[in-house]
Chain A
Amino acid sequence: MLEDLREKLRMDNEPKETIDPRARKVWMIGGALGSIIVLAVAIGFYAFVTMIYGGPDWVGWIAIALALVYVPWGVYFSPWLRMRFWRYELRENEMEIQHGIFVIKRHLIPMVRVQYVDTEHGPLMRYFGLTTLSISTAATKFAIPALPKQRAEELRGEIATLARVSEEDV
């Protein structure tokens, strides 16, 4: 039964490659930081409502409860789901990307439409030696987070070459 549901929730024909597993760690740390902020805001709200404003207790407690529910989501479930669904595949004429937590999105980007490829990294990503690769078309922009630095640079080079080879009019 559960296995059946699991099968149904899967996307068919997923792209081949997964991103670096360390991404999950980065997201977990990010989620933990976010949780601290959310908790602080909830506690602040509680203090404001009950002590300064003199409102009923339960309003503040609801905020704290909501924040506590958010903690396991932000720290564990959301990074796990993101990691579970992140896939990409570079083919000769196109790039396919899949990602999402709740809504799974699958993008198909033809090489002819690629305008630029960039790599960038934030402080946390850099600490883990990870890089984000972003691909822009004239109308849309997609990013693959958390690729090992070397792999990202390889990919950037490959995409740039492939994009240059195929020239069509916009």
Chain B
Amino acid sequence: MSEFRRQHPLLILLDTGRGLISNLSFALIIAISLPDDIFGGFVGNAVVALLAMFGLSALFNVLRWYFFLYHYEEGLVHIRQGVLFKRERTIKRDRVQSMNTNANVLQQAFGLVTLQIKTAGVSVDAEVNLRAVSKSEAESIKSHLYSNGVRSESEPVEIPKASRFLQGRDIWLAALTSGRFMVLFSVVALIYAQVFEYIPQSYLDQAVESLSTIPLMVVIGIAVGLFLLTWALSAIVFVIQFANFSVRRFEDRLEVSWGVLKKNHVIVKLHRVQAVVVQQGPLRQPFGLCTMLVEVAGGGAKEREKISLLHPLIRRKEVDGFLKDILPEYRLPLATVALPKRALRRYLFRSIVPVAVLIGIIITVFQFWDLPYSWVSLLLLVPAILLGISRYRNGSLSVEGDQLSLRFRNVSLVQVLIMRSHIQSLSLMANPFQRIGRLRTVRSSFLSSPAGKSYSLKDLDSEDAKTVRDWYSRN
């Protein structure tokens, strides 16, 4: 494969389509600023401006497609692009850090995929982004970049060491407990609040009048119905996004794929995995379910979430077995060190203070406007106290072999597993109160995309903190 190739011409359509929305608003701005009498009023102006913009962007995309050339051979991909400013780039096998493919509906109809090749650099976008290549071509490029030494066609396909799939029932469970409906619900509420201002007062009065004649139960019913509807909707979206989820472990890499309308396929080289995160959202915890993520060094910031997904839903009890099969390098700790009793006071203090400030503001405002029932806000203290206790109880740490495990809660319960060789630096911190109480905060920093990241556990006994420090120290 030494000659240069172009991508599929569908790319022109894809790019032009993608630019259409931004062009649309731009064309409208031009149409408004043009004098009325040139192309027969505002509508005429808009149509002409839009066509002109559309034509220009189509022309530009044709040129860009025409001048984008790539070729690949054993161990490297070479790209030559640019209409006016030429740019060439060669990516070699040993720099490649992950390769992903995905395909939207239009691409699937033409049997095309987007192939992204990322290197360990710090740039946000993928280093190579081929957005319209056939499936077989993508596979071929991948195999050229992957195999060490020449791999012949007759060689048997590599068989994964272990694999896991998400079953039908589980994906619905995952969808219903994803907590995304909260986001969607708040978006709906936000849109409502934005639109609210523009509704004429007379309509509002009328609405209030008719509302007051509707029984309260019906109003509550509508609200609950809306809530359930957004929940169901977000669940369906989730299912479509993560259907056919599978994760496969090969000798040197993980391959994760999912999706129906947009198919994703992510390859993570094993030596790039920096940490494993087991996450339990508040909705999932009662069911004993959790999400597993991997922190990966390098890679693009935009694709972050996707890169790091290891399993969208797994039972807590099965995490151990899953790790044994898929990532035997990591394991759940057998014994953990809990936080000392004297840390509870600090945990309670931290979760109560912001709520107490909030309550203070509410009560002051209510008093100022002479509104009743301000004492109800005191009830907010109950969840704050419970959260504080839960944070304290769930905070724990363990050092076993070469692995550090931290468990803590903000809202979700998070357990992080990190290898000693992946911790870039370890910090112990203590404010005066912690020093008096012989407590330390432990923070481990590691490499993640696009920059560093750190996890910390607060208010650990200073002796236990010293144990971690000595474990990490190489002297």
CA A94 – CA B470 in complex, angstroms?
12
Closest B residue to A107 by beta carbon equals B427
Binary interface encoding of chain A residues 94-133 relative to chain B, with 1 for a CB under 8 A from any of its CBs, else 0: 1000001011111111111100000000000000000000
Among B271, B428, B435, which residue has its beta carbon within 8 angstroms of that of A105?
Answer: B428
Task: Write out the residue numbers on chain B whose beta carbons fall within 8 Å of the beta carbon of A169.
Answer: 271, 421
By beta carbon, the residue of chain A nearest B462 is A12
Given A108-B427, A110-B474, the answer on whether A139 and B448 have CB atoms closer than 8 Å is yes
Determine whether the beta carbon of A108 is less than 8 Å from that of B429: no
**The residue from B271, B425, B453, B475 contacting A113, defined by CB atoms under 8 A apart:** B425
Whole-angstrom distance between the alpha carbons of A110 and B446 in the complex?
A: 13
Determine if B432 and A102 form an interchain contact, defined as CB atoms under 8 angstroms apart: yes
The answer to whether B430 and A108 touch across the interface, beta carbons within 8 angstroms, is: no
Given A91-B475, A139-B425, A140-B425, are A104 and B271 neighbors across the interface (CB < 8 Å)?
no
Residues of B contacting A11 in the complex (Cβ-Cβ under 8 angstroms) = 430, 435
Q: List chain B residues, Cβ under 8 A from A109.
A: 424-425
- Residues of B near A10 (CB, < 8 A) are 435
Least CB distance from A96 to B in Å reads 8
**Nearest-CB distance from B99 to chain A (Å)?**
19
Nearest-neighbour CB distance to chain B for A157, whole angstroms, equals 20
- Interface pair A142/B425, CB less than 8 Å apart: yes
- Whether B435 contacts A139 by the Cβ 8 Å rule is no
Chain B residue numbers with a CB within 8 Å of A104 are 429-431, 435
> B297, A108: Cβ atoms under 8 Å?
no
Quick check: is B451 within 8 A (CB to CB) of the other chain?
yes
Q: Tell me if B426 and A9 are in contact (CB < 8 A).
A: no
A contact residues around B475 at 8 Å (CB): 91-94
Which B residues touch A92, using CB under 8 A? 475
A12, A110, A137, most chain B CB atoms within 10 A? A110
With the chains together, A52 CA to B432 CA distance in Å?
A: 43
1/0 per position for A127-159, CB-CB distance to B under 8 A? 000000000011110100000000000000000
Contact at A140–B462, with CB atoms within 8 Å?
Answer: no
The residue on A at minimum CB distance from B271 is A169
Q: Would you list which residues of chain B between 392 and 427 have a CB under 8 Å from chain A?
A: 421-422, 424-427
A10 to B434, CA, bound (A): 11
A108-B473 Cα distance, complex, nearest whole Å:
7
A16 to chain B, nearest CB (A): 13
Q: Which residue of B lies closest to A166 (CB)?
A: B474
User: Is the beta-carbon distance between B424 and A139 smaller than 8 angstroms?
Assistant: yes
List of B residues within 8 angstroms of A140 by Cβ:
424-425, 445, 452, 454
Known interface pairs A94-B473, A170-B447; A9-B432 also in contact (CB < 8 Å): yes
**Contact of B425 with A9 in the complex, beta carbons under 8 Å:** no
Segment 171-220 of B: residues with Cβ below 8 Å from A: none
Q: How far is the CA of A13 from the CA of B421 in the complex (A)?
A: 24
- By beta carbon, the residue of chain B nearest A168 is B421
**A5 contacts B by Cβ under 8 Å:** yes
Complex Cα–Cα for A28 and B210 (A) = 69
Selected from A103, A108, A168, the residue in CB contact (under 8 A) with B426 is A108
Please indicate the chain B residues that have their CB under 8 angstroms from the CB of A110 in the complex. 425, 472, 474
Known: A94-B475, A104-B435. A137 touches B430 (CB 8 A): no
Q: Which residues of A contact B448 (CB under 8 A)?
A: 139
Q: Which of B271, B422, B453, B475 gathers most chain A CB within 10 Å? A: B475
Instruction: Output the nearest chain A residue to B451 by Cβ-Cβ distance.
Output: A139
Q: In whole Å, how far is A134's beta carbon from the nearest beta carbon of chain B?
A: 13
Check B436 for interface membership: any CB of A closer than 8 A: yes
Quote the shortest CB–CB distance from B428 to chain A (angstroms): 4
Residues of chain B with a CB closer than 8 A to A94's CB: 473-475
Contacts of A102 in B (CB 8 A): 431-432
Instruction: Say yes or no: B447 contacts A103, CB within 8 Å.
Output: no
Report whether B429 and A9 are in contact in the complex, using a CB–CB cutoff of 8 Å: no
Complex CA–CA separation, A168 to B271 (angstroms): 12
Cβ-defined partner of A106 (8 Å) among B428, B447, B451: B428
Is B435 in contact with A108, judged by CB distance below 8 angstroms?
no
A138-B424 contact, Cβ under 8 Å, with A94-B473, A170-B297: yes
Tell me which of B429, B454, B472 contacts A139 (CB under 8 A). Answer: B454
A86 → B minimal CB distance (Å): 15
| Chain A CB within 8 A of B469 CB | yes
Closest CB-CB distance, A2 to chain B, in whole Å? 13
A69 to chain B, nearest CB (A): 19
CB-nearest residue of chain B relative to A8? Answer: B436
Whether A137 pairs with B424 at a CB distance below 8 angstroms is: yes
* Bound-complex Cα distance A104 to B427 (A): 10
| Minimum Cβ distance to chain A for residue B81 (Å) | 30
The closest CB in chain A to the CB of B272 belongs to A170
CA distance A151 to B421 in the complex (A): 30
Least CB distance, B100 to chain A, in whole angstroms: 21
Bound-state CA distance A142–B443 (Å) is 14
A-B contact pairs, 26 of them (CB 8 A): A10-B435, A11-B430, A11-B435, A12-B462, A13-B466, A93-B474, A94-B473, A102-B431, A103-B429, A104-B429, A104-B431, A106-B428, A106-B469, A107-B426, A109-B424, A110-B472, A137-B452, A138-B297, A138-B424, A138-B447, A139-B447, A139-B454, A140-B424, A140-B425, A168-B421, A170-B422
8 A-B pairs besides A111-B474, A139-B452, A170-B297 with CB distance below 8 A are A8-B435, A11-B430, A107-B425, A110-B472, A139-B448, A140-B452, A140-B454, A170-B271
The 4 A-B pairs of least Cβ separation, nearest first, read A139-B452, A93-B474, A139-B424, A137-B424
